[in-house]
Chain A
Amino acid sequence: DAKTTQPPSMDCAEGRAANLPCNHSTISGNEYVYWYRQIHSQGPQYIIHGLKNNETNEMASLIITEDRKSSTLILPHATLRDTAVYYCIVRFLYGQNFVFGPGTRLSVLP
C-alpha cells in the first residue's frame, strides 16, 4: 500500500501557483519524498525529490515540513500543460520500486 495520502483532485487557474499537498505521517528517517506526474496515456515523469530540506528545480519546489510528516509540491506558474495526475511517493533512495497511490488529478483551467 502507498504510504501517502493526497487529495483526489484539485483545480488551479492558469498562471497561478498550484500547491499540491501530501501526507506521509509514517515516513521513516531514511525515506525520501518523490513527486512524479503522469499526463494522460504517458509514462510517469520525474518532478523532484527531497529528504528533509526544501528543494527547487526548473519544474517545481518541494516544501517538506520540519517533522517530515507532510510536504507540498509547488508549481509556481501553472500552465494548461501541467494538467496531469501528480503522485507523491516515499521511498528509500536505493533499490526499491515506486509504490504509486491514486495521486491528485490537477486540472489547470484557462
Chain B
Amino acid sequence: GAVVSQHPSRVICKSGTSVKIECRSLDFQATTMFWYRQFPKQSLMLMATSNEGSKATYEQGVEKDKFLINHASLTLSTLTVTSAHPEDSSFYICSAATGNDEQFFGPGTRLTVL
C-alpha cells in the first residue's frame, strides 16, 4: 500500500513552546488528510480534517487556534501545537486519503510536554 510518513517520530518540549508535526504522503497525492490524537490506553480521536488549499475543519472541542493545521500541498500537511502544555502530551497520528478514497495512516508522533 501507499506510504505516509510523519516527522518527527517523537518530540519532547518545554511547556509554552510550539511544536510542528509533518505528515507526508510519499508516493501519492492526498486531497484530504486527517489528524487524530490518542491518549494512553484510549482509542484514536479525530481532531480535524484538512483539505489541500482550504481551511481545516475541526471537531467539536478542538481549539483551532491551538492546533494549527496547514495543508499547503497535495503531499504535505502540518499540525502545529501552539503553546504546548503537559495535557497536550499525546500520540498524534495523521492519515491521508487517495483520489479513490483509500486511506493510509502515518506511524504517529509521540509528543511529551514537560
Q: Select one of B1, B45, B107 contacting A43, CB under 8 A.
A: B107
The distance in angstroms between the C-alpha atoms of A38 and B110, with both chains bound, is 15
The distance in angstroms between the C-alpha atoms of A106 and B4, with both chains bound, is 25
Pairwise interchain contact A102-B43, C-beta atoms closer than 8 A: yes
Number of interface residues of B (CB under 8 A): 23
Chain B positions 40 through 54: 1 when the CB is less than 8 Å from some CB of chain A, otherwise 0: 001111100100000
Which of B1, B45, B93, B105 has the largest number of chain A CB atoms within 10 A? Answer: B105
Residue B91 lies at the interface, judged by CB distance under 8 Å to chain A: yes
Q: Select one of B6, B42, B108 contacting A41, CB under 8 A.
A: B108
Interface on chain B toward A: helix, strand, loop, or mixed SS?
A: strand
Q: Across the interface, which residues of B come within 8 angstroms of A43, CB to CB? A: 4, 6, 93, 95, 105-108
The distance in angstroms between the C-alpha atoms of A2 and B49, with both chains bound, is 18
The distance in angstroms between the C-alpha atoms of A68 and B18, with both chains bound, is 46
The distance in angstroms between the C-alpha atoms of A55 and B95, with both chains bound, is 24
Residue A10 lies at the interface, judged by CB distance under 8 Å to chain B: no
In this complex, the interface size class of chain A, counting residues with CB under 8 Å from chain B, is 20 to 34
Chain B residue at smallest Cβ distance from A95: B101
Q: Across the interface, which residues of A come within 8 angstroms of B42, CB to CB? A: 102
The distance in angstroms between the C-alpha atoms of A18 and B95, with both chains bound, is 27
Q: In whole Å, how far is B85's beta carbon from the nearest beta carbon of chain A? A: 22
The distance in angstroms between the C-alpha atoms of A94 and B101, with both chains bound, is 6
Q: In whole Å, how far is B25's beta carbon from the nearest beta carbon of chain A? A: 13
Q: In whole Å, how far is A8's beta carbon from the nearest beta carbon of chain B? A: 11
Q: In whole Å, how far is A99's beta carbon from the nearest beta carbon of chain B? A: 7
The distance in angstroms between the C-alpha atoms of A45 and B95, with both chains bound, is 11
The distance in angstroms between the C-alpha atoms of A28 and B13, with both chains bound, is 45
Residue B34 lies at the interface, judged by CB distance under 8 Å to chain A: yes
Q: Across the interface, which residues of B come within 8 angstroms of A103, CB to CB? A: 43
Top 4 A-B residue pairs of the complex, sorted by shortest distance between their CB atoms: A43-B105, A100-B44, A100-B43, A44-B105
Question: What would be 14 A-B contacts, judged by CB atoms less than 8 Å apart?
Answer: A41-B110, A43-B4, A43-B105, A44-B44, A44-B95, A44-B105, A46-B104, A46-B105, A87-B43, A94-B101, A97-B46, A98-B44, A98-B103, A102-B43
